[in-house]
Structure 1
Amino acid sequence: MPFNGFIDARVLVDGQPLQEYMDPDGIDNVRYVQATTGQRFTVEIRFLPGFKLQWAPYLHASLTFDDEEINWFRNLPTKGMAHRKGVLTKPESLQLGCTAAKDDTGTWKRTFFVFGALGLGMCLAIQVDAINTAGCWLTAVAETEDCNPISLEQVNKLGRLKLEVYRAQEVPRELPFITEGRLPDARETVPEKLLKGRYIKNNVRYDASDEVGCAPAIRYHDYLPVNGPAGKIHEFEFRYRNREILQYLGCIPRSPSPEPNHALALERTEEMLKAQKEERRRQNLEILRLRERLERAERGSSRESSTTIIGDDTIKREDGTPIKTEQPQQATKRARDEDDDELQELMPPPKRPAPTIELEDGDGQSGTAPRGTKRARDEDDDDLQEMAPPPKKMPVLVDLTDDD
C-alpha cells in the first residue's frame, strides 16, 4: 500500500504479500485483502529510500485488531540507518506477526496472529445507552448467550487491521510497565442482527506454538510522536474479508461461467427431438384410435336407425338426413293414408305361376295354349273353346297408421 511520505505497508502470508484491492468508497489509505481461515499473517512496514528521518531517534509502528483496546508495537532505532542528510538511501523495514504470551501452565510461548472464522450468536437484548441530538450515532450494548457484550462502535471496527506509523521519541514513564503475558480474548461470536449489512465473516485469533519464548523486558519509557510536523501519524487500514464477500463488494471479479459443452448440448438436443417425435407419434396413434371408434359407432347407429320413404328414390333417416337409393321396378307398392301424407310401404303378393295345359289334336300333336288364355275341351266334341282370363285382383291397401 504505497503511502505519502515513502512509507509502505502490506500483509504477508507465508512470506508473500497478499493481493490488495481498492476500497469501493475510494478511501486512499484503505485496502481490502482476502482472508482465509487458519492462515497465519504478518504486517510489514517498509520505509523506502527518500523517507525523511527528521533526526527522530525511533520509528514507531503499532497494530490494533478489530475492536481490541490493546495494540502491538515495535520501535525501530534510526541509529545506523543508511541516510544522507537525514534522508534514507536504503530501505528499512519492521514486522508485526507474533508476540510472547503465557500458556495455562505459565510458560512463555511464541504466539502468532491467525485469521479465524467469526460465528453468529443469538442476541437476547439490545439496550441503547446514548444518542446525540443530531441522531447520527448511538451506543448500544447487546447481551448474548455465547458472546461478550458488544457495542455498535465495536461492531463497526470488526474485520480491520489498523496500523499507525510515526517518528517517535522516548518519554519516561512514571511507573515501569511489566507485561503480564495474558492475551485478549478473541471475539468468537457476534449477534447476527448487529452484523446485518456489514459483510464480515472473519476475525483475528492467537495461535500459540510449542516454541518457548522470552518474557518481554520491563518498559520504562513510552514512545510518543516527535514534536512538530515531523510527528505526523501515518495511518493504514487493511479490511480483511473472505473471497465471497470481496466478489460481492466488487473487489474481485466474479468467477467466469464455465465454457459451454457443445457435445453435451447437442446430445441433449437430440434427446429432446426424439422425445418430441415419440410424443407426436403417440398423439397420432391416439387420434387414429379415436377416429376408428367414432366410425364404428356411426356404422352401428346407421344399422339400428329406421328409414322412411319420402319420394321415388329417397329414404329419410330418423335424424332427418335424406339418403338416396335406387328402387327396383315393381319391387314395392306404396299407399297413401287418407288422413295424412305419410307413405306406408306394402309388399306385393307373390306371383302365381301360369298353369300349363297339355292339348292333343286329333292327329296326335300336342301343344300349349297361348299365355293369357285358357282352353277347355267340350265334353261332347274335341273342339277347343277359348276362354277369357279372369279379371286381375286389385291390390289390397292396408292402413297401418294408429287410430290416434
Structure 2
Amino acid sequence: MNGGVWAAPGRVNLIGEHTDYNDGFVMPFALPRTVVATVTRRDDGLLRLRSDAVGTGSAVDTVELRVDELAPGRGPGGWSDYPAGVVWALREAGHRIGGADLHYTSTVPAGAGLSSSAALEVVTALALDDLYGLGLERQRMASLCRRAENVYVGAPTGIMDQTASACCVEGHALFLDTRDLSRRQIPLDLPAYGLDLLVFDTRVKHAHSDGAYGRRRAGCESAAETLGVPALRDVPYAALAEALDRLPDPGSRALVRHVVTENHRVRRVVALLEAGEPRRIGPVLTASHTSLRDDFRVSCPELDLVVSAALAAGALGARMTGGGFGGAAIVLTERAASAAVTRAVESAFATAGYRAPGVFGARASSGALRLS
C-alpha cells in the first residue's frame, strides 16, 4: 500500500473532566467532525506535512522535516509538532517509518476543547500503521499518540482524548478506566429519546501546555501524595470528608473534592444511560460544571454564560467540556426546545458583548477509520 485517505474524529467528553490524569473515569464520545489525512508513503526519510487551516489560522501551511532528526524540543512548534511527534514516538518504539507526505483538512474547531490535536495525532498514527504494516492495536496507538503529546509537544494531557478518537463506536459513549485502560461502550442514542446534545464553541482559545493546566495536575499529584494514595482515584467517595480533613491547604481540598465527586458523577451517568434514563443525566452534567467552575477553577465567563443561559431557557443540563480556560460547553435539551435554547445563549452572548458562539448538534460517531 502506497497511499490512501484516513479520518479521525474530535470528541466531546460527556462527563469526567480532569479525572484522566488522576487514574479516574471518563466518558467521551466521538464527534462527526474529523481531521482527514490524505497520505502517501515515501522511503527517503522526508516528512512533508501540509495543512489546510488545521489550527494555523492560514489557508495553507507546509512543513518539511527529516524523520531521523525528530526529537523533543527541536520541532518548529505549532500544529506540525503533533504529527511530527507521532512519527517520533513510533520510531522511538522501534517502528521503521521512512517518511510520508501527509495533507490534512479538518472540521474540528481548534482550541475548542474538542480534541482537535488528538484527532490530528490519531489520524497520523492510523495512516502510518496501515502504510507501514505496523499492526498496532488501537489502545497501543492511542498510548503512542499520548506520548507524542506529552513528550514531544510538551502538553501534560491524559489518555482520554487519543483513546476516544481511536476507539469510540458509533451510537455509544466510551466508559474508560484510565488506570487499567479497560473500556465499555455505553449506548448513547439521545435522538431516540427526543433529546439533543448541543455543543457551543465559545471561540475562546486555550492551550493545554500553558502553566494553568500543569499546575492543577501537579496539585492533584501533591494531594495524592499527602493522602498516601497512588492517585486521587483511590480516594473513595464515601470517605471524601475524612480525606478533606487531612488536607490543610484549601486549594488542595478543592482539587480533591472535584476529582472524587467527578468520578462518582461518571458512574452515575453510566448507570442512568444503561437504565434508559438519559433525561436524568442533565442535573449531573450541571453539577459537573459547578465543580469545575468553583473547585477546579477552569471555567471562564463565556462558558459560565452558556450554562446559565441554557438552563434559564429550559435545558435539562449543561457544562463545560474539555480542559477548560475557554473552549466549548455542552447542553442537553429536549429536541423541541433546542431552537429556543440556542437563541437564548446567542442573545446572552450578544448582550454581554461577546463574539457569537458557534453551535452544532453532537451525535455519537465512529472512531478513526480508513476512508479509501
- Name the TM-score, length of structure 1 as normaliser: 0.22
Greater share of strand: 1
Greater share of helix: 2
Tell me which of the two structures has the higher relative contact order, counting C-alpha pairs closer than 8 angstroms and 6 or more residues apart: 2
- Higher-Rg structure is 1
- Name the TM-score, length of structure 2 as normaliser: 0.23
